[in-house]
Amino acid sequence: MSKKVLVATEKPFAKMAVDGIRQILTEAGYEIILLENYKDKADLLKAAENVDAIIFRSDLITAEVIGATKNLKIAVRAGAGYDNVDLKAATEKGVVIMNTPGQNSNAVAELVFGLMLNLARRGYTGKSGTELLGKSIGLHGYGAVGRRVASIAKGFGMDVYAFDPFVKAEIVKADGVKPVDNAEDLYKSCDYVSLHMPKTKETAGSINWSKLSLMKKDGVLINTARAEVIDEPSLLKMFEERSGFMYGSDVEPACKEAIAAKFSGRYFFTQKKMGAQTEEANINAGLAAARQIVAFFEKGDVRFKVN
Ligand code: 3PG
Ligand 1 centroid to 242 CA: how many Å? 31
Beta strands in the chain (DSSP E): 4-9, 31-36, 53-56, 74-77, 96-99, 136-140, 159-163, 178-179, 192-195, 220-223, 246-249, 267-269
| Cβ(189)–Cβ(136) below 8 Å | yes
pLDDT tens for 36-57 read 999 999 999 999 999 999 999 9
Distance of alpha carbon 173 from alpha carbon 124, whole angstroms: 35
pLDDT at 1 over 90: no
Going 142 to 146 to 147 to 151, the CA torsion angle's sign is negative
Q: Mean pLDDT across the stretch 113-139?
A: 98
> Predicted confidence band at 105 (pLDDT cuts at 50, 70, 90)?
very high
C-alpha angle with apex 8: 57 to 110, nearest 5 degrees? 30
Ligand 1 centroid to 53 CA: how many Å? 19
Q: Mean pLDDT across the stretch 233-247?
A: 98
| Cβ(161)–Cβ(218) below 8 Å | no
The answer to whether the CB of 79 is under 6 A from ligand 1 is yes
pLDDT tens for 70-81 read 999 999 999 999
Q: Mean pLDDT across the stretch 281-288?
A: 98
Report the residue among 58, 112, 196 best suited for mutation to probe ligand 1: largest number of ligand atoms under 8 A from its CB: 58
pLDDT at 240 over 90: yes
**Chain-wide mean pLDDT for the chain?**
98
- Nearest 5°: phi and psi at 302? -120, 30
Domains and CATH numbers, the chain: 4-103+278-299 (3.40.50.720), 105-269 (3.40.50.720)
